[in-house]
Chains A and B, each alone.
Chain A
Amino acid sequence: MAVELETACGQCRLRPFSCELALLSRPDGSATFLQGDTSVLAGLYGPAEAKVSKELPDRAALEVLLRPKVGLPGVLERSREQLLRQTCEAVILGVLHPRTAISLVLQVLSDAGSLLSCCLNAACMALLDAGLPLTTLFCGVTCALQPDGTILLDPTARQEQEARATLTFAIASREKKVLMATTKGSCSVEEMQQCLATAQRAADTIFQFYRDSVRRRYSKS
């Protein structure tokens, strides 16, 4: 299960990851991504015919829906949908499919901390599974700043609650650039840069995970 070590001599740990691709038969691409006990299922349709009111003349129109497990989607889900949409729009080559619609639906299966980064990872794997043209891959990493200043990667729900600040970054695979950054809580500029650098290191591991899982998927074709 989850093995967490306090940062000692600069070692952070990510929880055990798993993912399953192409598990749903109806969507064009689907993936479930698990980080420890947090799991998100992403289903993607597209590029498909768009409604006339929603189509864009020169690019694909991307729609992201995030559904919580219990209750109706609220403001928190809407803001996360916007963050995901902006990240995906930066990465998807929408100009290759004008006047189409790409619809990404995410369902929270369980939330045990680092939900937004799990959503980002699930979204990227669904995009890979659907075979959409992307400029770069992206991954999500959450860092929690504890009150004493230590940085924890991929925090659990309890660690997020006790943290002074929680930062989530979307890191692109090309040159580890930052696609999206969102924070909750307060931290100094130096701490934010340190968290960002830590997230970029963690992104290496996550991208290697993507490569291995896709390699396994296509190993017998």
Chain B
Amino acid sequence: MKATPLSNCERRFLLRAVQEKKRLDGRQCYDYRNIRVSFGADRGCCIVELGRTRVLAQVSCELVPPKPSRPTEGVLFFNLELSPMAAPGLEPGRQSELLVSLNRLLERCLRDSKCIDTESLCVVAGEKVWQIRLDMHLLNHDGNITDAASIAGIVALCHFRRPDVSVQGEEVTVYTPEERDPVPLSIHHMPICVSFAFFHQGTFLLVDPTEREERVMDGLLVIAMNKHDEICTIQSSGVVMLLQDQILRCSKITAVKVAEITELIQKALENDQKARKEGGKFGFAESIPNQRITAFRMESAAVDTNDVEEQAGEIIAKADPPSEVFANPVLHTPGTAQIGEGIESSWGDLEESEKEEAAEEEGESEAAAFECEKVETEDTSTQVGVGVFFIDEPIVLSDSEEEEVVILEPQELPRKTRTQTSSKQENPSKKAFNKRRRKKRTSR
């Protein structure tokens, strides 16, 4: 899909609105959109909705050999993908700058801040460690992918449970979820990214920009902080130059926002934990708000299959019997077999078949109202050998009446008959062909 471009009047409107401290959705400059966290039935799966921006995160684990430089630490792998459904401009498989910068920022936020204890992921030093893999998919792009993805990532990591492992001497036992309850990851703190968009050369700032606001902003400042007021990552991009007190002010705002968001995350995790423990319903099915008119639910339905066998029997009785398959393989040499003989090459019969073709084509083309000249095959003069593999009719590229179409045909070349074999066979009959001149025809 092609991305829809931003019109100049939209741009001017947005910039004027920011100047007057107004936002399209009615928020204040420092307000966040509604954040909603829902969990799936699998452990480590969650969907975070920041306004209309939606990110899916899934954590999975695997036992792998550790990195040679860090034999006692587990391996963390983060991947954010922009799904083609998130926005019209996103193509599958294209490594755009946006994707690379988002991935890098999230890696710094989650990996370099050491929020996950990698030492606890070691099973056998130097041989087996846990690899924790976090996959995030952007489902709908309405701005501020960074924040939504960072919240989804940390929530999924907190939600995830890895299989329990016990090491006795040389033996390592990995318990299935049925044998022993899975164990949570050891997470020290929860870094959350907060994005600030700057407009009019740094004069105005907006927290949590929407997609439209992102398109017209001058620069972006992202601060990742945890609830203990520690800055984990800070990144400024774009063409804006920020003053020191602006950055300090932003970090104070970040501290407030992160505290709120962390509380929200904790509550969501507790609710889900409670639902799972009490045997209540959990998963995406329960998180669909069923008061909405766009959501509909149906309970488990029974399907009547009483006469199925009779119906099936009738169909089989009435059906035509399957056609006979004649499969008599011929073994030429060990490893070379042939089934069937295929159609004989008809290059030698082109003159005749062409006349038939012309007649057929005239019949067809009358129906399709095309003009078609009768093909005249003239006698030849020279013989040239070149292989051409399709012959239906030559594709005419121009309308010039002066052009002649010359078909070069093969001579004394081993022709490969199309057979359903795995071997190449030489056609016993080799015909030398004639070079033919054809009058150009307006066809197709």
**Docked pose: A110 CA to B41 CA in angstroms:** 8
B327 within 8 A of A: no
The answer on a CB contact under 8 Å between A24 and B299 is no
Which of A66-74, A87-95, A132-140, A160-168 is the contact stretch? Answer: A66-74
CB distance from B289 to the nearest CB of A (A): 9
**Docked pose: A189 CA to B315 CA in angstroms:** 11
The answer on a CB contact under 8 Å between A205 and B301 is yes
The answer on a CB contact under 8 Å between B303 and A198 is yes
Chain A residues numbered 62-116 whose CB sits less than 8 Å from any CB in chain B: 65, 67, 69-71, 101, 103, 105, 107, 109-110, 112
Find the A residue at minimum CB distance from B86: A26
**Docked pose: A213 CA to B288 CA in angstroms:** 14
**Docked pose: A112 CA to B303 CA in angstroms:** 20
Q: Which of B45, B281, B283, B305 has the most CB of A within 10 A?
A: B305
**Docked pose: A1 CA to B306 CA in angstroms:** 25
Chain B residues with CB below 8 A from A205, complex form? 301, 303
- One of B60, B83, B84, B300 near A2 (C-beta < 8 A): B300
**Docked pose: A202 CA to B54 CA in angstroms:** 33
The answer on a CB contact under 8 Å between B305 and A70 is no
The answer on a CB contact under 8 Å between B52 and A25 is yes
Which of B132-140, B160-168, B232-240, B403-411 is the contact stretch? Answer: B132-140
A131 within 8 A of B: no
The answer on a CB contact under 8 Å between B284 and A216 is no
B304 within 8 A of A: yes
Assuming A12-B303, A205-B301, is B293 touching A220 (CB within 8 A)?
A: yes
B85 within 8 A of A: yes
Chain A residues numbered 164-221 whose CB sits less than 8 Å from any CB in chain B: 189-190, 193-194, 196-198, 201-202, 205, 209, 212-213, 216-217, 219-220
The answer on a CB contact under 8 Å between A49 and B303 is no
The answer on a CB contact under 8 Å between A22 and B302 is no
Chain B residues with CB below 8 A from A151, complex form? 305, 308
Chain A residues numbered 21-52 whose CB sits less than 8 Å from any CB in chain B: 21-27, 30, 32, 34, 36-37, 39, 41-46, 48-49
CB distance from B50 to the nearest CB of A (A): 12
**Docked pose: A69 CA to B85 CA in angstroms:** 14
- One of A13, A20, A103, A110 near B303 (C-beta < 8 A): A13
A15 within 8 A of B: yes
Q: Which of B295, B298, B303, B304 has the most CB of A within 10 A?
A: B303
Q: Which of B1, B135, B283, B284 has the most CB of A within 10 A?
A: B1
**Docked pose: A15 CA to B304 CA in angstroms:** 14
**Docked pose: A9 CA to B2 CA in angstroms:** 54
Assuming A189-B316, A216-B296, is B285 touching A16 (CB within 8 A)?
A: yes
A10 within 8 A of B: yes
Chain B residues with CB below 8 A from A65, complex form? 84, 92
For chain A, the count of residues having a C-beta within 8 Å of the partner chain is 69
**Docked pose: A97 CA to B42 CA in angstroms:** 41
Chain A residues with CB below 8 A from B45, complex form? 69, 109-110
For chain B, the count of residues having a C-beta within 8 Å of the partner chain is 56
Find the B residue at minimum CB distance from A205: B301
Find the A residue at minimum CB distance from B45: A110
The answer on a CB contact under 8 Å between B141 and A26 is yes
The answer on a CB contact under 8 Å between A18 and B58 is no
The answer on a CB contact under 8 Å between A16 and B312 is no
Chain B residues with CB below 8 A from A32, complex form? 284, 288
The answer on a CB contact under 8 Å between A39 and B139 is no
The answer on a CB contact under 8 Å between B293 and A24 is no
B47 within 8 A of A: yes
Chain B residues with CB below 8 A from A69, complex form? 45, 56, 58, 135, 137
CB distance from A27 to the nearest CB of B (A): 5
The answer on a CB contact under 8 Å between B308 and A45 is no
**Docked pose: A5 CA to B294 CA in angstroms:** 30
Find the A residue at minimum CB distance from B315: A193
B381 within 8 A of A: no
Chain B residues with CB below 8 A from A201, complex form? 303-305, 308
The answer on a CB contact under 8 Å between B295 and A20 is yes
The answer on a CB contact under 8 Å between A39 and B285 is yes
**Docked pose: A48 CA to B87 CA in angstroms:** 13
Find the A residue at minimum CB distance from B281: A1
CB distance from B79 to the nearest CB of A (A): 9
CB distance from A154 to the nearest CB of B (A): 9
Assuming A34-B285, A45-B88, is B296 touching A19 (CB within 8 A)?
A: yes
**Docked pose: A15 CA to B188 CA in angstroms:** 40
A153 within 8 A of B: yes
Find the B residue at minimum CB distance from A141: B303
Chain B residues with CB below 8 A from A17, complex form? 297-298, 301
B313 within 8 A of A: yes
**Docked pose: A18 CA to B312 CA in angstroms:** 31
The answer on a CB contact under 8 Å between B300 and A13 is yes
The answer on a CB contact under 8 Å between B283 and A110 is yes
Chain B residues with CB below 8 A from A44, complex form? 85
Chain B residues with CB below 8 A from A213, complex form? 296
Chain B residues with CB below 8 A from A16, complex form? 285, 297-300
CB distance from B217 to the nearest CB of A (A): 19
Chain A residues with CB below 8 A from B311, complex form? 193, 197
Chain B residues with CB below 8 A from A23, complex form? 294
| Contact sample, A vs B, 8 pairs, CB 8 Å cutoff | A14-B300, A20-B292, A26-B86, A34-B285, A49-B1, A70-B135, A107-B137, A151-B308
| Known A10-B307, A220-B293; further 7 A-B contacts with Cβ < 8 A | A11-B304, A13-B303, A20-B292, A25-B140, A107-B83, A193-B312, A201-B305
Ordered nearest first, which 5 A-B pairs have the shortest CB separation?
Answer: A43-B85, A213-B296, A193-B312, A105-B85, A18-B297
